[in-house]
Amino acid sequence: MSFFKRKIPQLFWNQLRNVSSTRTTKHVLKISDLSQKELRDVLTFATVIKKNPKDYATSLKDKTLLMLFEKPSLRTRVSFETGMTQMGGHGIFYSIADSPLGQKETFGDTGQVLSRYCDVVMARVKNRRDVRELAKHSTIPVINALDDWAHPCQMLADLLTIAEYKGGVDKLSQIRMCYLGDCHNNVTYDLMRSACVLGFHLNVCGPVNAGNGKEHNVDDEVLEECKDICKQYHKSTDLNKWLTITDKPEVALRDNIDVIYTDSWMSYGVDPKDKEKRMRTFMPYQVDTPKLKMAKPNCIFMNCLPAIRGMEQAADVIDGPQSVVFDQAENRLHGQKALLFYLVHGHMDVKRLSK
């Protein structure tokens, strides 16, 4: 074999490795991994893409998203795969339920291999350690599509929906939200981070006090994270300005609430044997019509789905006129398209793609 055939490919790959190692790669593992400006910009950009989808039909041309699933999800797979298709790219589904990350090979090896195949990786996993390790060793963006600690893609959909109903992205800092249900929850934690990043007030309400142990309490580490976020963006560590945690729905709902939010009591991974116990524990926090009437007349009801009528919410609430759950589900698509564009291109200006 000639010198050219033997040496040039190796020189090329060495140069590529050097470029990749010096490039700053943006990962989104929790909503606070986006700065306040980035979060507002992604949400604003999502509204533009939603209104003008054809303008972005080739914006991810020849780009590939690998979707790693340890936990199943209808909305996550369909929204990500559809989003890539609508923007001219390609999404690959790969189940890691039977082949967990970090077992057959190291996270380092997996991250390096995927970084050479794909442009971005999305992972929906049981444990935050796994997605963090994957991101640590990847030179392409990694998106957390859910773990036990955060759900940033859901936050983009939620905040986009609230902005649509409550005056726009610039008005998000003025809303008051109440979350009712399990406070020891990935959605709860990212809602808390969202409130602290954007500056709106969130009342977190569930069985958090004595008699229930710490099974449903907010994790202390999340509270410390929120203090750090508030210090960064609002120059204060007084969480009471942005967060209230209580076990009393009448307290959580008394403050001119704009948004009531709940989540499944039987999330993936919860033992079905615990259903009756969890229903007894959470029933005081079910979103029913009396609770909805305690909020503002134009309050919207949200649930990230899937939902079970008669559990976390009454049927007349989720099927009623104040429910926006299907707008919320649709906005997974638009929020993720904006995020994918930003992570792949490093900006949010489609006109720059042709330059």
* Domain parsing of the chain, residue ranges: 22-151+332-345, 153-329
| DSSP state for residue 174 in the 8-state scheme | G
> Does the annotation count 183 as an active-site position?
no
Angle at 195 between CA 190 and CA 201, to 5 degrees: 135
Of the residues 119, 147, 154, 247, only one is catalytic, namely 154
178 in active site: no
Please give the pLDDT value at position 140: 98
Q: How far is CA 88 from CA 12, 77, 83, 119, 162, in A?
A: 28, 17, 9, 13, 28
Q: Catalytic residue at 304?
A: yes
**pLDDT tier at 68, thresholds 50, 70, 90:** very high
pLDDT tens per residue across span 136-162: 999 999 999 999 999 999 999 999 999
CATH numeric code, 22-151+332-345? 3.40.50.1370
Q: Cα–Cα distance between 133 and 193 in angstroms, integer?
A: 22
Residue 110 in this model has a pLDDT that exceeds 70: yes
Point out the catalytic residue in the list 27, 40, 124, 176: 124
Give bridge partners of residue 243 from the DSSP assignment. 202
- Quick check: 351 pLDDT over 90? no
Strands (E), 190-349: 201-205, 243-246, 259-262, 300-303
pLDDT: which is higher, 105 or 247: 247
Q: Is 280 a catalytic residue?
A: no
Q: Which two tokens stand for residue 76?
A: 């996550």
173-200 mean pLDDT: 97
pLDDT digits (tens, 9 = 90+) for 251-296: 999 989 999 999 999 887 788 999 999 999 999 999 999 999 999 9
Annotation says 271 is catalytic: no
pLDDT at residue 352 is higher than 80: no
Of 75, 151, 193, 334, which is the active-site residue?
Answer: 151
Name the pTM for this structure: 0.92
103 carries an active-site annotation: no
Say which of 196, 230, 263, 313 is annotated catalytic. Answer: 263
Q: Which CATH superfamily is domain 153-329 in?
A: Aspartate/ornithine carbamoyltransferase (3.40.50.1370)
Helical pair 186-198 and 152-165, crossing angle rounded to 10 deg: 50
Which of the four pLDDT bands, split at 50, 70 and 90, describes residue 211?
low
Catalytic hit among 176, 201, 216, 332: 332
pLDDT exceeds cutoff 90 at 189: yes
Asked, colleague to colleague, whether 22-151+332-345 and 153-329 share their fold, the answer is yes
Distance CA 338, CA 246 (A): 35
Query: Could you report the per-residue pLDDT of 282-335, keeping only the tens digit for each?
Result: 999 999 999 999 999 999 999 999 999 999 999 999 999 999 999 999 999 999
